[in-house]
């Protein structure tokens, strides 16, 4: 990391993978110490997750100390064209994320029609979850995850790898590593989401823009999950129209990635 650089965006691009690893190691050590002092942290996975990310965030606060230009990034974030692209990229990605759910639900319904003894995948026992767990989980997913994941996977990994192996390979590898951290059923959507975030970041040189898409995505996903709407729209009569809309969104997602890929090839060869 080059601390002589005072521009926020340029300083971010100078943070190395070795420094990231050191930051992660220190975060693990400090988190372990805090767990020993405050046993409550080790008793809650959600609380530990928040504490871990909060400590990790202090690494970036230190890394960006003395920089300028974050205010320009914020102004750029609210430009009309960027706001439209943020909403558009969010929409096509979340529609694709639901595609597999809708397809599986369609198969589930067809199996139920063919076999009266078939037990639907949605017929599960309800479990009472502590409201504090839900709140902590939502805070971690909505606030901390978008900030930390974009800084790590796009701000550091993508930036450093594109110098060594090229832009396209860096997009693929950093997005694959990003996807591994998600549950198996969502790895494909997470991978394509990561590709789109790399493209947005490369296009704007403003980490706040992919961070905003990530934030909106996690807000909507959390609301759908907590409210149970994700299950409701995966059943009749909503399933068919939702499946059609999801397929359309998937087509536009593919078109978006192809279009931005061509732009990258033109600009960077």
Dump the DSSP string for 227-238: HTHHHHTTSTTT
165 and 54 in one domain? no
pLDDT above 90 covers a percentage of the chain that reads 69
CA–CA separation, 79 and 162 (whole Å): 27
235 and 103 in one domain? yes
Number of domains composing the chain: 2
Residue 19 CB-density burial (10 A; 0-12 exposed, 13-18 middle, 19+ buried): middle
103 and 87 in one domain? yes
- Mean pLDDT (whole number) for 14-40: 93
pLDDT higher than threshold 90 for residue 91: yes
Examine the fold and report which residue of 68, 89, 115 is the final residue of a domain before the chain moves on.
68
Examine the fold and report which residue of 46, 68, 90 is the final residue of a domain before the chain moves on.
68
62 and 180 in one domain? no
pTM: 0.91
Helix 17-37 and helix 45-63, axial crossing angle in degrees, nearest 10 = 140
Examine the fold and report which residue of 68, 86, 118 is the final residue of a domain before the chain moves on.
68
pLDDT higher than threshold 80 for residue 132: no
pLDDT higher than threshold 80 for residue 200: yes
Domain that holds residue 13: 1-68
């Amino acid at each position: 990391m080059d601390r002589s650089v005072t521009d926020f965006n340029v300083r971010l691009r100078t943070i190395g993978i070795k420094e990231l690893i050191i930051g992660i190691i220190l975060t693990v050590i400090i988190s372990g110490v805090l767990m020993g002092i405050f046993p409550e942290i080790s008793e809650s996975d959600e609380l530990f997750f928040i504490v871990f990310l909060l400590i990790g965030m202090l690494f970036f606060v230190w890394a960006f100390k003395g920089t300028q230009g974050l205010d320009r990034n914020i102004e750029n974030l609210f430009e009309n064209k960027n706001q439209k692209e943020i909403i558009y990229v969010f929409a096509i990605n979340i529609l694709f994320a639901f595609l597999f759910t809708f397809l599986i639900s369609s198969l589930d319904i067809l199996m139920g029609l063919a076999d009266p003894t078939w037990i639907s995948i949605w017929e599960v026992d309800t479990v009472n979850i502590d409201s504090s767990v839900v709140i902590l989980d939502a805070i971690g997913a909505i606030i901390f995850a978008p900030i930390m994941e974009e800084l790590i996977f796009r701000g550091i990994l993508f930036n450093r790898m594109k110098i060594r192996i090229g832009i396209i390979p860096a997009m693929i590898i950093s997005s694959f590593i990003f996807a591994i951290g998600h549950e198996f059923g969502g790895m494909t959507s997470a991978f394509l989401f990561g590709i789109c975030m790399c493209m947005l970041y490369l296009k704007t040189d403003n980490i706040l823009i992919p961070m905003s898409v990530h934030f909106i995505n996690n807000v909507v996903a959390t609301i759908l999950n907590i409210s149970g709407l994700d299950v409701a729209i995966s059943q009749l009569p909503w399933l068919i129209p939702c499946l059609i809309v999801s397929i359309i969104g998937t087509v536009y997602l593919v078109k978006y990635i192809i279009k931005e890929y061509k732009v990258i090839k033109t600009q960077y060869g």
